[in-house]
Structure 1
């Protein structure tokens, strides 16, 4: 995983990445805000909120892909599994809005970051120094404070079952970590257009299945007013733009820039909770935010001993993801990469 270097913040490329990260941060916050508003109306249909966004991805990127007719570089079932995990991660987080506050959801999303570190350490054989480990520990402390805060805050937490909602977010964030690591690998080693097309296609299919099984009754009970329809459209457009820009950020600037952007999404969440919802924020939230932010900054800082990858075993595993006709070129690029 890439590591953010504060000494490079003045470069044009880094500034562009920071700007792109802020756009992603605002998109994430707007999606969360809209989902929270839908939950406040008593609408219990998480998969239906995600369906249209995946459909947009499938139509736009799938149409471009059909026009260009490129060679598929990764096996189709890789995208199916990735989409399944991605849909369930989004489902759990959207479901959490019916049980806990928006602030808790945004803060607990940070749990994905230590999970990403663990996954890259286990599967990509990435080694981390003491600073990275310290950052992970501090992030976990922040997560514990959020859960304790919701227990302490009770009915002020913004949901009927705040602790249940917190653990739904933690489960969703863990799945987000799996998708982020997988997406970063695929967008760098396969094809961005291919990734977006299949994510949209399989994501839409999985959402439609979940809706037909679990949400038919909830959809019939929804009052499809203009406000509700607009909320669904806002989420769909936000999902489409978020995934489109996320792949650009991962491919060009790496995961560290995205990690830095997550900090501001938490900040926007706190501001929305204070000024838009006009609700009192428990004092422990500020401590939780500060603790999580400090942990993220520490883990994002560049160390003298950069993370190292043991390339041999990783290359063997990566080769299995690609078709034989594309194997030679991919092997050449992987073997020739520095480790």
Structure 2
């Protein structure tokens, strides 16, 4: 009986950790958006340069830890290379899309990452999603759709110079996000966080540097640098560093689908910042949308009875065999 109580407490603790970490990461993402907006208002539009600073910081900090500990490398270098490539280009495409289409379209089409993550984790990581989790996903998406309707209802839907091109860029970027999230979940469960962050930072910095030379060299020369601009770049790099550092913990406890769903609340955090920091008025539907998305995340986090029974049975088998089964590590979300 005591053992069952301890297991229940552990499961509830992991659920709360997953929900809490997801919202911290979502808030960091929102802060990064506001920092990018401040840079854009200053006429600074170099998204790849901002990413380069983050990847460089990851490579230096975690690379230093890795050199000190000198662990055995478990992952393949090309896995980390393709992870960094998908991450860099996903960020680049979505930021670029804002120049051509409306923010409302970006918010709605960015949800394309959710079904992509579900399919990729189901095919490659053998993660099984039952009715409860599918219902949670649907409720979360419903919350985002309500945000879109609230924008339209409030009349705050600016157009874009080329909406079709922008929408295509968002869908492509969201697909790359899904590939990046799924690959990162696989690597963090089969290698370790320090190794993952080191190589992701290393390859991400190299890819970003090449892209800067091709696309952003002229913009960098035209920037009128000031102490405030330098501070904004540093703030973006530090907040993104924290974002990437916390992400592996969430992936281990709850998986990439939970991470992708948690990012849906970043738009709601942006609304709260606008209300309390900038004293702006927003449509009442935003509050209902935030509550709906939060409920969807809670529904997704709840384990069904047959899932718990299956996990208990697997745990007993593992204890008897005295080894860790790869199936158990790939069903962290089921």
Offset at 1:228? Answer: 1.2
CA distance in 1, matches of 2:204, 2:242: 15
Does 2:173 correspond to 1:172?
yes
- The 5 A counterparts of 1:142-161 are 156-157=156-157, 160-161=160-161
Does the aligned pair in 2 maintain the 1:146–1:288 contact within 8 Å?
yes
CA distance in 1, matches of 2:301, 2:16: 16
Give the structure 2 partner of residue 312 of structure 1. none
CA distance in 1, matches of 2:254, 2:261: 11
Partner-residue secondary structure (3-state), 1:306:
helix
- The 5 A counterparts of 1:122-161 are 122-140=123-141, 156-157=156-157, 160-161=160-161
Distance 1:260 1:133, change over 3 A: closer
Give the structure 2 partner of residue 81 of structure 1. 82
Give unpaired runs (5+ residues) of structure 1. Answer: 1-6, 310-331
Q: Which moved more, 1:263-272 or 1:83-92?
A: 263-272
Give the structure 2 partner of residue 232 of structure 1. 233
CA distance in 1, matches of 2:289, 2:102: 14
Distance 1:195 1:85, change over 3 A: same
CA distance in 1, matches of 2:121, 2:46: 33
Distance 1:228 1:119, change over 3 A: same
Offset at 1:238? Answer: 1.0
Deviations 1:228-285 (A, max 9, x none): 1111101111111111111123224545764674355333111123444565646766
Deviations 1:167-190 (A, max 9, x none): 644433332222122111111111
Offset at 1:88? Answer: 1.1
CA distance in 1, matches of 2:162, 2:273: 18
Offset at 1:99? Answer: 5.3
Distance 1:20 1:121, change over 3 A: closer
Give unpaired runs (5+ residues) of structure 2. Answer: 1-7, 312-322
Distance 1:9 1:194, change over 3 A: closer
Distance 1:167 1:148, change over 3 A: farther
Does the aligned pair in 1 maintain the 2:15–2:301 contact within 8 Å?
no
TM-score (norm 2): 0.76
Does the aligned pair in 2 maintain the 1:83–1:202 contact within 8 Å?
yes
Give the structure 2 partner of residue 33 of structure 1. 34
Does the aligned pair in 1 maintain the 2:117–2:257 contact within 8 Å?
no
Alignment RMSD, CA only? 3.7
Does the aligned pair in 2 maintain the 1:54–1:204 contact within 8 Å?
yes
Offset at 1:124? Answer: 2.7
Offset at 1:191? Answer: 1.8
Give the structure 2 partner of residue 44 of structure 1. 45
- The 5 A counterparts of 1:1-339 are 11-12=12-13, 14-98=15-99, 109-140=110-141, 156-157=156-157, 160-161=160-161, 163=163, 168-252=169-253, 254-255=255-256, 258=259, 261-262=262-263, 264-277=265-278, 281=282, 292-306=293-307, 333-335=324-326, 337=328
Offset at 1:134? Answer: 3.7
Distance 1:95 1:111, change over 3 A: same
CA distance in 1, matches of 2:107, 2:217: 28
Q: Which moved more, 1:108-117 or 1:207-216?
A: 108-117
Does the aligned pair in 2 maintain the 1:8–1:14 contact within 8 Å?
no
CA distance in 1, matches of 2:20, 2:291: 23
Q: Which moved more, 1:220-229 or 1:250-259?
A: 250-259
